[in-house]
């Protein structure tokens, strides 16, 4: 039973977002929101940097596929 619970906990940790993992470590709602905002900002920055590359290297792809790839990076 103990190993089953441990495996379940590890599985949940692997699928948790950064904000969810940090929620257990950060003591206030404000700290958790700041981290969530920071992670979202990083995602947007990466998307902004990838957009020109995707448009150049993958210009043969339909626009909706390029947009979907950028949206996936932000998430």
Q: What is the pLDDT of residue 56?
A: 85
In the 8-state DSSP scheme, what is residue 32? H
Question: Which residue positions in the chain have pLDDT lower than 50?
Answer: none
The whole-number pLDDT of residue 73 equals 72
pLDDT at 39: 84
Q: Any idea of the CA torsion for 20, 47, 45, 22, to the nearest 10 degrees?
A: 10
The answer to whether the CB of 17 falls within 8 A of the CB of 26 is: no
> Range of 25's domain?
2-74
Q: Per the confidence metrics, is the pTM higher than 0.85?
A: no
Q: How many CB atoms lie within 10 A of CB 70?
A: 19
Q: How many domains does the chain have?
A: 1
């Amino acid at each position: 039973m103990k190993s089953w619970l441990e495996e379940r906990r590890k599985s949940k940790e692997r699928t948790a977002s950064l904000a969810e993992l940090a929620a257990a470590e950060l003591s206030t709602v404000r700290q958790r929101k700041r981290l969530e905002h920071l992670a979202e900002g990083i995602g947007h920055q990466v998307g902004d940097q990838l957009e020109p590359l995707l448009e150049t290297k993958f210009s043969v792809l339909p626009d909706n596929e390029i947009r979907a790839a950028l949206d996936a990076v932000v998430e």
